[in-house]
Structure 1
């Protein structure tokens, strides 16, 4: 816990808006949190917004899981102590006044709901193995979304399987979401942390092109879609898709801390300057390092190219509209 507290103190100093103790900070919605229950053993400290992705040579034998450069940084984010990850993340959600859309298998998502019953919106996705019984899977999902308390279909990681979201083989799932009026959250764009060729052999960068959503969107015109990672780095195609599809939103997750800060700010600024400031939602891709949530919030709060109203839209209002929390 001491590592998290030290990181949290540094972040609070860097972001005065988070340090107000006499009243709760304004509410935040994080639309992209994973239902991880523990930091993975041996998880190294994280220097967010690394400045470089390093090349590797297959002749060198063991290649690292991450391609980030290892420069020093402040703050350095530490993994949770054994047995403390879920408690630490929930404590951060309470401190920052965050409601989170938590994605994962139903049992682990329910563990988050039990730990923070008023701060978790439950999300889960469909199985993608070739031998999946599609009829049974559709029945299972319909039960979860109608009677099980789940509200978002995601994270849909078709890109990791090298499959387009418009592939007919998965269309029944999007049809179900449209019929039940459930939003879907689809991984598009960045992935693999600079080592997808080593660690994720079926991942295809080309399957993250936002334009691959077009046929699916045409077949399901009432479907609300959250493009995870904002389709980074394919900004031009992302902007074109947003202009043509008013039910599509993007999130900042992963992108916001895993690329150089100048690049992150340029990408978000392009989205806002192009007229889509009401469809950018805050997300972290929260995992392993409990301090990641506060750090990611600080990126938006300290963005000098965003007005206070635009910051509130990204941190709360847009997601409340997308998830229809503003109607409750």
Structure 2
């Protein structure tokens, strides 16, 4: 049985604020996601000769809590209710029109983010024009999620450098997927995904070209902790989020990775996130992992849950 963290149960209506820096606008891109056991104990091996292979490799095990997806059409309202209950503000990523629906529904809870498409048929000039309008006229605040790793590309690839140049010019932070994402079946579900492109050292040339760029390394570059620490040590504009990682791996492993980041002296650059897709209770569950981490001080918990993201996103200067 998967060992989950105790549920986070609010005790008052005046909870300290939390920022989730990694949240998805809708479930259209994630059809048919089943109930989920967070912090599953293992990734199962498979054999291509044994018939159709499952698209994900998490073990099928009993667990408590088991997290259930929203019913069709109810994800937005379910999540806004959770964000209100838990006093969470979220950086919501997606297509501009999808994200705008969230902004309209909960303007005080949503920090809008959007990114560019990748592929041979993409009109780069059109994409750049769309992004510039989004960030200068439509109120978008973060360029992300940038999923170059799923296309087998490095963030330092010159073919996408114009997008990062725009972000630096407009002083917009970028959120780049680096690390976890294969789910044990990358070759089946996402055949162009390359684990090697999640190496945080792949950021070096990009950062040398754009030294003022603020970078959010999604999933904290898991599991490449040594290279992640090297990048944090070399570049003070680089932060990490622990989204996805926080529930995708055994809890002991998750805590060990976060503890390494903190023990190495980078507690002021670790940001909370969920990688929320369609399981409403994933938010409170993920918060509970930080709240119950006995290796973190109360101040470190507040920094991870709010202060670090507020600084990175320039929301305010006051610690809460």
The normalised TM-score by structure 2 is 0.95
- The residue that corresponds to 2:7 in the other structure is 14
- The residue that corresponds to 1:170 in the other structure is 160
* Consecutive aligned runs of 4 or more in structure 1 exceeding 2 Å deviation: 37-43
Per the TM alignment, residue 33 of structure 1 is displaced from its structure 2 partner at its CA by 0.0
From 35, 39, 54, the counterpart of 1:49? 39
Structure 2 runs not aligned, ≥5 long: none
Q: Secondary structure at the match of 2:145?
A: strand
Residue 256 (structure 1) aligned with residue 239 (structure 2): no
8 A Cα contact 1:249 1:279, kept in partner? yes
Per the TM alignment, residue 42 of structure 1 is displaced from its structure 2 partner at its CA by 4.1
Residue 273 (structure 1) aligned with residue 266 (structure 2): no
| CA deviations over 1:96-134 (Å, ceiling 9, x no partner) | 000000000001101111111111000000111112121
Q: Secondary structure at the match of 1:295?
A: helix
State the distance in 2 between where 1:130 and 1:38 align: 23
State the distance in 2 between where 1:49 and 1:289 align: 14
Per the TM alignment, residue 20 of structure 1 is displaced from its structure 2 partner at its CA by 1.2
| CA deviations over 1:242-262 (Å, ceiling 9, x no partner) | 000000000000000000000
The normalised TM-score by structure 1 is 0.93
C-alpha distance 255-58 of structure 1, shift in aligned 2 (>3 A): same
8 A Cα contact 1:162 1:202, kept in partner? yes
Cα RMSD over matched residues? 1.6
Q: Secondary structure at the match of 1:29?
A: strand
Per the TM alignment, residue 176 of structure 1 is displaced from its structure 2 partner at its CA by 0.3
C-alpha distance 136-128 of structure 1, shift in aligned 2 (>3 A): same
State the distance in 2 between where 1:248 and 1:162 align: 22
Residue 190 (structure 1) aligned with residue 190 (structure 2): no
State the distance in 1 between where 2:54 and 2:182 align: 12
- The residue that corresponds to 1:96 in the other structure is 86
- The residue that corresponds to 2:95 in the other structure is 105
State the distance in 2 between where 1:74 and 1:132 align: 44
Residue 84 (structure 1) aligned with residue 77 (structure 2): no
- The residue that corresponds to 1:74 in the other structure is 64
C-alpha distance 289-245 of structure 1, shift in aligned 2 (>3 A): same
State the distance in 2 between where 1:14 and 1:289 align: 14
8 A Cα contact 2:179 2:220, kept in partner? yes
State the distance in 2 between where 1:195 and 1:314 align: 31
State the distance in 2 between where 1:133 and 1:215 align: 24
- The residue that corresponds to 1:137 in the other structure is 127
Per the TM alignment, residue 214 of structure 1 is displaced from its structure 2 partner at its CA by 0.4
Structure 1 runs not aligned, ≥5 long: 1-9
Per the TM alignment, residue 212 of structure 1 is displaced from its structure 2 partner at its CA by 0.1
C-alpha distance 288-20 of structure 1, shift in aligned 2 (>3 A): same
- The residue that corresponds to 1:115 in the other structure is 105
| CA deviations over 1:214-248 (Å, ceiling 9, x no partner) | 00001000000000000000000000000000000
State the distance in 2 between where 1:105 and 1:197 align: 26
- The residue that corresponds to 1:27 in the other structure is 17
